């Protein structure tokens, strides 16, 4: 499977949150099924892994209200960018 399009999607989506890994690094991570080729500083690993979890949630639930809830629930990395579930300010 050619992971180029998915790597482009992840790098584009991640760029909104400071994703610093290159397209080549992201494609290699997809090909190896490992986050090891990515920049290990910052949020790159979390963005990469959460994006893949979100895609899996959409495949399972579809893109609907339930699917969006499943996507947000799938984002479980220890990142400051995560939604605050059940907390009010």
Give the residue-averaged pLDDT of 61-85.
Answer: 72
Q: How confident is the model at residue 88 (pLDDT cuts 50, 70, 90)?
A: very low
Lowest mean pLDDT among 19-33, 40-54, 59-73, 75-89: 75-89
Helices 44-61, 4-14: axis angle to 10 degrees equals 120
More confident residue, 75 or 35: 35
- The answer to whether 39 and 25 have CB atoms below 8 angstroms apart is yes
- The conformational region for residue 42 under phi > 0 = left, psi -120 to 50 = alpha, else beta, is left
Q: What is the pTM of this model?
A: 0.74
């Amino acid at each position: 499977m050619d992971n180029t399009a998915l790597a482009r999607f992840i790098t584009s989506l991640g760029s909104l949150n400071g994703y610093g890994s290159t397209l080549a690094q992201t494609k290699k991570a997809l090909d190896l099924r490992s986050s090891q080729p990515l920049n290990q500083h910052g949020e790159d690993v979390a963005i990469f892994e959460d994006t893949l979890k979100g895609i899996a949630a959409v495949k399972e639930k579809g893109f609907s209200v339930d699917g969006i809830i499943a996507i947000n629930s799938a984002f479980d990395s220890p990142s400051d960018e995560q939604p605050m579930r059940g907390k009010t300010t």
